[in-house]
Structure 1
């Protein structure tokens, strides 16, 4: 209901010309609008996690608005330079994508390219060298696929039951799987085996999911290809985590920078916190 009220109010403001007045104002000229996206669905990811994923048609609608309404889409580095020097073009926008998932390569980039819009990708890199789904995400996604069920087959994974009836109960199962993996210090190969066993318990074809590359990070060849096309890649930690230990945190950034430079030939110079999680 609240979403419907919000949409109605926004349509009314747009119809009254308020958006255009703000866009063309002196106040807006001094502001840089940064649009931050994550995933664009290969299949039904937008139904699983709508706050993280959108359908390709929705992204295209948003890009079309930017073009039709005369927004100036700048490379992020150039836009920040202009902002610092009080030299932004009117209605300036920068576009970023977090994580660098395979769906960016397949779904998002072709749309951005068709509109001629530059983009920055904050690339996490551990899974770029390991072509398997991100463990926590694929567990959550598969549990959602079997939502509504209660299964008593989780003992072999250290779980008493698999209560999949609600988002909250599925999250508890996912969290226990991730915590167990961290406790046992499992590597990528070992967590992938856990995900494969979970899929079997849920009667899901894991090999098919892997082949579709759902919830996988772009590999080194894809990153290199996009870098050659002009996509800007920046820091997002190697393993998509922000340890409280300063030395470990610095290693995350150092490993991330090194791998990005190896794949793109360019030095990543600025950083986006994974999930926006940071401490002063």
Structure 2
């Protein structure tokens, strides 16, 4: 039904009309990682095929968009009015495969882009533990049968473990156990972690790659050190920001001035921490166009992923979906 409605809107020229009506509402696009294998099937909200991303960038170029930096977005805000058709491309986390899966398309069209980097996973070069566990159990449909010499045997009476059992034990035992546990899981299910590290599967960029990409013009901004924020108290949240800033400065030689909330979540009182750090903007994952009334520290983004069709992408980008959501909200209030 959604496809039919959007197709009709497109046929009747509503896409073009919506684009004109929302021309001064900036679009901030949100991307995450690039799939090197079947990750886009496992978690399409996080991992996109490089072909999908390349097609999206081609569509932006075709439709006349020229992505600008977050600094330019901030400048427009401070000038009192956003420019027409302002668009920003942002990438969350720092997954290794973005280098070969996103940068070529960005370079082809000379597009600006920002990477919100979680520095812990860059400094600690190994597959991201929690996501890797979920991936292995998804792919091989568990359960995980413990060997007699398993590092987990002394800590559980269970013989067969689900992914939740494994993650609960890992949380209890601490991060030092994560790599041995993942190595056991990979061996049990027949996966080669060395090949993962070679291909960048479920891995983050190396420190050297971050430095090189920053030198090539990719803006590197804050995403906390360990991808934790909303669940933390103010002291720990501040530590996350300080550590993240320290590592980014070491890697790029620049002080980051923009922030992205992990998972788009925050506590209201945490916004003061961003002000104290003199940050210019912060973004969420609220799926919407930017309004002149939006606070610079809680900006919405259009979250793109591999399950979104080109038609849906265009509907979001032109503002059709924004207008439809507004109309639906008015009807509900009127009812």
The verdict on a shared fold, with TM-score over 0.5 as the criterion, is yes
1:104 CA drift (Å): 1.1
Which of 163, 188, 194 aligns to 1:174? It is: 163
Contact 2:196 2:203 in 1 (8 A): no
| Match of residue 187 from structure 2 | 200
- Contact 2:70–2:258 under 8 Å retained in 1: no
| Aligned residue number for residue 37 of structure 1 | 31
Which of 80, 91, 94 is 1:86 aligned to?
Answer: 80
Of 74, 96, 120, which aligns to 2:68? 74
Aligned partner of residue 198 in structure 2, secondary structure: helix
1:186 maps to 175
Counterparts of 2:3 and 2:52 in 1: how far apart (Å)?
A: 15
5+ long unaligned stretches in structure 2: 269-335
Instruction: Note the residue ranges of structure 1 that are not aligned, 5 or more in a row.
Output: 163-172
* Counterpart-to-counterpart distance in 2, 1:41 and 1:137: 13
**How far apart are the structure 1 equivalents of 2:53 and 2:63?**
16
Alpha-carbon separation, structure 1, partners of 2:226 and 2:167 = 14
Counterpart CA distance in 2 for 1:84 and 1:23 is 23
- The match for 1:19 among 15, 28, 37 is 15
Which deviations, in whole Å up to 9, do the C-alpha atoms of 1:151-186 show, x marking residues without a partner?
544784445424xxxxxxxxxx33433332222222
Q: CA deviation at 1:116?
A: 1.1
Q: Which has the higher contact order (CA 8 A, sep 6+)?
A: 2
What is the root-mean-square deviation of aligned Cα atoms in Å? 1.9
> 1:121 aligned to 2:110?
no
TM-score (norm 2): 0.73
Residue 245 of structure 1 pairs with residue 233 of structure 2? yes
User: Offset at 1:150?
Assistant: 4.4
Residue aligning to 1:168 = none
Q: What's 1:110 paired with?
A: 104
- Measure the CA separation in 1 of the matches of 2:105 and 2:165: 38
More divergent stretch after superposition (62-71 vs 119-128): 62-71
Does structure 2 retain, via aligned residues, the 8 Å contact 1:154–1:161? no
TM-score normalized by the length of structure 1: 0.86
C-alpha offsets along residues 93-140 of structure 1, whole Å, 9 cap, x if unaligned?
111010011011121111111111100110001121222111111111
Number of equivalences: 261
Partner of 2:279: none
Is the aligned partner of 1:260 residue 2:248? yes
Question: Matches of 2:250 and 2:227 in 1, distance apart?
Answer: 18
SS of aligned partner of 2:266: coil
